[in-house]
Structure 1
Amino acid sequence: MKVKRKSKSAFVQSFSGMTLSIITVISLSPLVLAVPGQVSLHSLEQSAHRQPQKIAQSSGTDTSERSQLLQQANALYNQGDFKGAEENLRKLIKKFPEDAFGHFQLGNTLFQQKKSEEAITAYKEAIRLKPKYALAYNGMGMVYASQSSWEEAITEYKKALEINPNYAEALTNFALALLQTNKKDEALASLEKALKIFKEQNRNEKVNQVERILREIKTADDPSVS
């Protein structure tokens, strides 16, 4: 039993260093938390189940001003100016307080600045406005994961997956958190499902990232495997 416990501990430790780095790369295509210059707030909005169109239609407000503020936030974000992006998103929210997507993106930008509690508040407001907001639940999970609060992260990822069982980024995040709690079999199942979805979507970069995680797990199980 002691050997098994030691093996589990070594397995978890082997992932503790890589998990957060992977979280900030793989899980964020529906979010905004990747390397500056590689992700577009505006284009991500368009890909997120076409939510912005629904928001704009329901708001009855000047969507051109909204679009301009988002574009400005996007430009600042991609320059690494997260504070500037935050300021533009706060202007958007002041003008369009019922814009769930604006609150969601604000949460992403705050997370980049390591303002964890503020990010959670922004995500919660997005969820209040749009209860079935899987992306916001995933965002909250990522904040908790960044704090190594794995059980809380798992809870939020589960909520995201209850809304959208085929949300591949959340499946991947869920798996990474499960690995930290010694639930390897469940994590592997979640990763395999995410991999299948990414392949069906022809998202080759994500496919490569998930395959990398699976290789890491195999290596952790058997260090002789290269």
Structure 2
Amino acid sequence: MKRTVFVKPLSWVTLSIMTAIGISPVLAVPAKISWHSPQQSAKKQPQRLAQFSETNQPERSQLLQQAQVLYQQENWTGAEENLRKFTKKYPKDAFGHFQLGNVLVRQGKSEAAISSYREAIRLQSKYALAYNAIGAVYASQNRWEEAITEYQKALEINPDYGDALANLGEAFWQTNKRNEAKVSLEKALNIFKAQSRNQKVNQVERMLQQMKASDDPGVS
């Protein structure tokens, strides 16, 4: 009998969490989370994002820079402590809560991470990146229907959000919604091509090829 469930290639990382220091977070490259300056972020992920208050305060910038250093050192505990101090001092800063969620994910604290992402959304209702991040956490737990809901919320805010489209395509495939999966992945592919995000282009093309192979009657 032909398989209907897509088996993810090893190079595909479901938990594609956005982790950037700056005003405009970007999606990290698969298998490794990185931090970028606002200028780099604007080039890598051209999408409309909510702007956050207090961005010009030196102390705010210093705390975020400290978190960045700790993150790059893979000092997750230190980064979490730093960001908790940040969110205590700036409780209405959605970006701080979002970044805290990213650090919690790296420590396997999924539910705490979701809570942080939810707080970011409460403060910034149009926070598409946070919805996508929650979906990715659910996907990592094979909670595909819940993941689909979150990805769709992200796409309601930004229909051209390539990363959410790619993640949604995978979630559709995992729930045997084959046509929806292909449509979503093809949209993501076109967006990634337009953005010259070649690594993402290659990933999505491999996924589509694997899906096509699974549709071949000769594949058992």
Q: Give the alignment's TM-score, normalised by structure 2.
A: 0.84
Q: 1:189 aligns with which of 174, 180, 183?
A: 183
**Rounded Cα–Cα distance in structure 2 between residues aligned with 1:19 and 1:134:** 26
| Higher helix proportion | 1
**Alpha-carbon distance in structure 2 between the residues aligned to 1:124 and 1:69:** 22
Indicate the structure whose relative CO is greater, using CA pairs within 8 Å and at least 6 residues apart: 2
Judge conservation of contact 1:24–1:33 (CA < 8 Å) in 2. Answer: no
- Which of residues 7, 10, 24 is equivalent to 2:15? 24
Match of 1:171 in 2: 165
Map residues 1-226 of structure 1 onto 2, 5 A cutoff. Answer: 6-7=1-2, 10-12=3-5, 14-15=6-7, 17-18=8-9, 21-24=12-15, 28=18, 30-31=26-27, 34-36=30-32, 39-40=34-35, 42-43=37-38, 46-47=41-42, 49=47, 51=49, 54-55=51-52, 58-59=53-54, 63-222=57-216
Cα distance between partner residues in 1 of 2:115 and 2:127: 14
In structure 2, give the amino acid aligned to 1:170.
Answer: A
- Indicate the larger mover: 201-210 or 158-167: 201-210
Q: 1:192 to 1:72 in 2, by over 3 A?
A: same
Displacement after TM superposition at 1:24 (Å): 3.4
Compute the displacement of 1:158 (Å): 0.5
| 1:34–1:206 CA distance, 2 compared to 1 (3 A) | closer
Q: For the Cα contact (< 8 Å) 2:154–2:164, is it kept in 1? A: yes
Aligned residues: 210
Gaps of 5+ in 2: 20-25
Aligned pair in 2 of structure 1 residues 84, 50: CA closer, same or farther (>3 Å)?
A: farther
| Cα RMSD (Å) | 2.7
Moved more, 66-75 or 113-122: 66-75
Q: C-alpha displacement at 1:32, in angstroms?
A: 5.3
Q: Which runs of 5+ in 1 are unaligned?
A: 1-5
Deviation readout 1:122-142 (Å, 9 max, x if unpaired): 010000000011000001101
In the TM superposition, residue 218 of structure 1 has moved relative to its aligned partner by 1.8
Alignment partners' CA distance in 2, 1:157 and 1:139: 8
Question: Which residue of structure 2 aligns with residue 3 of structure 1?
Answer: none
Distance between the aligned counterparts of 1:80 and 1:187, measured in 2? Answer: 34
